[in-house]
Amino acid sequence: MKLQARMKSRSRRRGGRRTYDDAPIGLALVSSEGRFLQVNPRLCTLLGYTRKQLLGTTLEAVIDPLDQRLMESNSRRLLAGEIDEIQLEQHFLRADGRNFPGRFSASITTSLGNRSFACVLEADEPRGGGASRAQSNSGAAHAVLDEFFDGVVAIDRNGDIVSFNQAARSLFGYEPREVRGRAASLIIAGPCQDEFADYLAAGWERSGLEAASPAGPREMWGRRNDGSTFPIEIRATRMLLGGAPHLVAILRDISEQKAQTEALEYQTLHDALTRLPNRTLLNDRLRQAILTGSRQGRTAALLVMDVDGFKEVNDTCGHHTGDLLLQQIAQRLEGLLRSSDTVARLGGDEFAILPGVGIGSEDGARTAQKILRVLEQPFTIDDRVLRVSASIGIALFPAHGRDASSLMRRADEAMYVAKRARSGYAFYVPRQDSVRPERRVRRGELGHAIEHDELVLHFQPTIDLGIGRTIGVEALVRWQHPEQGLLPPMSFLPVAEEAGLIMPLTRWVLNRALRQARAWMKAGLDVDVAVNLSAGSLLDSGLPGMTGDLLKVWRFDPGRLKADLPESSILAAPAVETAARLGAMGIGLTIDDFGAGAASLQHLARLPVREVKIDGALAAQLARGDDSTIRPIVAQGHMMGLRMAAKRVEDQQTLDRVRGLGCDSAQGFHLCPPIVASDLAPWLRDSAWGLAERVPQRPLP
């Protein structure tokens, strides 16, 4: 109703020029779902409907059935960004059942919310041509441009501004008469003018309407009349105005969106308590240090530090004091090291230090000694004097590892050696592996378990919060150990990674999950199934081929299989390539445990991701009433067209809060714990969250 009222209030004659409501041709705004949002009187007359009857009606209802497929196909391509405009000869269907020939033209015009776009539809019975006809249509087209809520600027082949709608006037502070006939670069900030010229040139070079958009929307900086600059998004579309081709640039102020993105980026890359870089940013800088070291033939060092005595401070003085202590430790570490060094908080009382490239073993030892000395000084918090110490593990590139995960793991192992020996710091020593024979035994047992089916799958339902029904299940692997009982995945997945067993384990899980899903289908339960893929499996280029073979064996639709990807995997190029191949097969991609500190939502642009599962720790924060982290993640995810799922929903209060934040789906013990396959059918029958009749699918962003 707000949109209709706003459109109607602006549908008046302006200076004798024809406006939306009195245009001599049929005009409408149509949503991306194909429903009329606004129509003018002429269109109502042509189609034989009242305005009230048309509003909310689908476009399909007024297109002759013989022409619907062509129109729908082109509309989908338009909304997907494959083409910029549509020009079709169509037959329209009147309310009385008669049809008549006309034209259908549409182009993306403006955002009407986070998930929808509007199109302009133009239709009229064929009449004689001529200049007056073109002039009439031109006036109506310009009137439509004035109705848009985004800035719209029509540009001729010379690069000059032909029209400047009311929203553009508000955006840039110019009156239309001040800019007409002047170069469009007037409203673009100086550093972006060459890019703007290239963007317009690419728009003119397209041949025919079948060509794809040269670059899609582009971010640049606009320039206001007062000289101030601001970030804008531009989408240039070729349209006919007055019978002549023009580029119509749609411009949107994205200052608020960009500020939100930058704030979210900062939150994603920094620890909330200490403001230090978190594990995500450390991993990125560690990878950069390794690349630099490889190119220049130089060494690098990674130090992992654990605060000794921190648990006692928390237990005796409280968590508030513990938090203040961590903040003071962070300040001391930052003050001690150089600006080129990275100090990160990994979580809890664990920190990491990455000195600049070129640091060898002696430099690493000196750095550790400096840290230990500065932490020996007492801390004063709320009139209390506290003393702590630290244990530091050091791993060197390339001696101890040639990738970030190996260095991190080995520095961590060295830190535990230092803690046990109370030596302050220790370097990683390869023979440390030999003192853990139980690890080798576990590797052998796991290989035997995979070969002899000692693994089992449990399944946890996923609930769509919009319809209150089950839309799929997640397959969760367990190890039925003959002596130790049922083991959770975290007790054996690291062993699988180290022992080179991750691909056999992944194949076992995929095969059993697809076999079970096929069995459910035969029993009348048509349910999607999700499997978790580790970062190690995504680094294997054979994963897509293996998955495709299993899909064929079990005759399972790839669209019903979901792949949950660890958040850290979208930062590694080989893993991204493998995931993209899975997505190209039709498999739905989900980022799992997002917010744990491995990436930002902007990284998802490289993958056809459909859904993001928010880290369970954030749901725990939500249960305590803190939504400061999760709220912007959900908001930005929805802006990107992603489904947002909440994990670890353990009680009704958390369920109410994630629903209030707009999460699309949820998992957790409050809804249903992981259950064995044979229990799913009875649970679906008896639960309030029964199986959805039709699984909602969100289009790819």
DSSP letter string, 628-665: TTHHHHHHHHHHTT-EEEE----SHHHHHHHHHTT-SE
Residue 395, burial from CB neighbour count under 10 angstroms (0-12, 13-18, 19+) = buried
pLDDT tens digits, one per residue of 203-233: 887 544 433 333 467 889 999 999 999 999 8
Angle at 549 (CA atoms; ends 546, 554), nearest 5 degrees: 125
The DSSP 8-state label assigned to residue 690 in this structure reads: P
Is 262-435 assigned to CATH 3.30.70.270? yes
pLDDT at 512: 95
Equal CATH topology for 150-253 and 262-435: no
Compute the distance between CA of residue 642 and CA of residue 658 in angstroms, rounded to an integer: 16
Does the structure show a pLDDT above 90 at 519?
A: yes
Can you point out the beta strands (E) in 216-328?
218-223, 229-241, 244-253, 300-308
The rounded Cα 685 to chain-centroid distance in angstroms is 34
pLDDT of residue 314: 78
Amino acid in the structure at residue 684: L
Range scoring the smallest mean pLDDT among 319-323, 427-431, 640-644:
427-431
Average pLDDT over residues 357-373: 83
Most confident option among 224-228, 361-365, 428-432, 490-494 = 224-228
- Joined tokens for residue 204: 């003119």
Q: What is the pTM of this model?
A: 0.44
Residue 604 CA: distances (Å) to CA of 539, 598, 632, 676, 701: 17, 12, 16, 33, 10
Q: Which CATH class is domain 453-686?
A: alpha beta
Share of the chain above pLDDT 70, in %: 80
Per the CB < 8 A criterion, the answer to whether 371 and 333 are in contact is: yes
Q: Is pLDDT of 170 > 60?
A: yes
Give the per-residue pLDDT at 133. 41
Reported as a pLDDT band with limits 50, 70 and 90, residue 24 is low
pLDDT-derived band at 16 (thresholds 50, 70, 90) equals very low
Residue 39 near residue 28, CB atoms below 8 Å: yes
Q: Which residue has the higher pLDDT, 460 or 130?
A: 460
For the chain, the domains span 1-149, 150-253, 262-435, 453-686
What does DSSP say about strands 643-646 and 161-164: parallel, antiparallel, or unpaired? unpaired
| pLDDT of amino acid 107 | 63
Q: Which of 46-55, 67-76, 163-172, 215-224 has the lowest mean pLDDT?
A: 67-76
pLDDT at 602 (0 to 100):
63
pLDDT of residue 568: 64
Tell me the C-alpha distance between 589 and 607, whole Å. 8
8 sits in the region (left: phi over 0; alpha: psi -120 to 50; else beta) called alpha
**CATH class of the domain comprising 150-253:** alpha beta
Task: Please state, in angstroms and rounded to a whole number, the distance separating the CA atoms of residues 199 and 189.
Answer: 14
Q: Name the residue with tokens 């489904």.
A: 643
Task: Kindly report, residue by residue over 572-615, the tens digit of the pLDDT.
Answer: 667 788 888 999 999 999 988 776 544 566 666 667 888 998 87
- CA distances (Å), origin 184, targets 31, 159, 224, 248, 288: 29, 6, 12, 11, 41
What is d(CA 415, CA 389) in angstroms, rounded to the nearest whole number?
13
Q: Is residue 22's pLDDT more than 80? A: no
pLDDT(67) > 90:
no
Phi, psi for 393 (deg, rounded to 5): -110, 140
Say which CATH superfamily domain 1-149 falls into. Answer: PAS domain (3.30.450.20)
491: its two tokens: 């007790």
Strand, helix or coil at 105? strand
Angle between helices 616-623 and 630-639 (to 10 degrees): 120
Predicted confidence band of residue 276 (pLDDT cuts 50, 70, 90)? very high
Contacts of 632 (CB under 8 A, 6+ apart): 260, 263, 264, 267
In this prediction, residues 255-278 reach a mean pLDDT of 82
Tell me which H or E stretch contains 591: strand 588-594
- Report the chain's mean pLDDT, rounded to a whole number: 79
pLDDT tens, residue by residue, 94-104:
888 888 777 77
Q: How far is CA 463 from CA 450, 458, 668, in A?
A: 31, 17, 9
pLDDT over 90 at 345, yes or no: yes
Q: Which residue has the higher pLDDT, 568 or 567?
A: 567
Question: What tokens were used for 206?
Answer: 């397209």
pLDDT in tens, 372-421: 989 988 999 888 888 888 999 999 988 888 888 889 988 988 888 888 77
Average pLDDT over every residue of 250-255: 86
**Over residues 160-175, mean pLDDT:** 89
Instruction: Supply 263's token pair.
Output: 């704030």
What integer pLDDT is reported at residue 464 of this predicted model?
Answer: 93
The Cα–Cα gap between 680 and 565 comes to 24
Amino acid identity, residue 267? Answer: Q
Predicted confidence (pLDDT) per residue in 448-473, tens digit: 888 888 899 999 999 999 999 999 99
Residue 8 has pLDDT above 50, yes or no: no
A 10 A CB-CB count for 218 gives 17
Sorting pLDDT into bands at 50, 70 and 90, what band is 14? Answer: very low
Name the band, by pLDDT with cuts 50, 70 and 90, for residue 115.
Answer: very low
In a 3-state reduction of DSSP, which class is residue 497?
A: helix
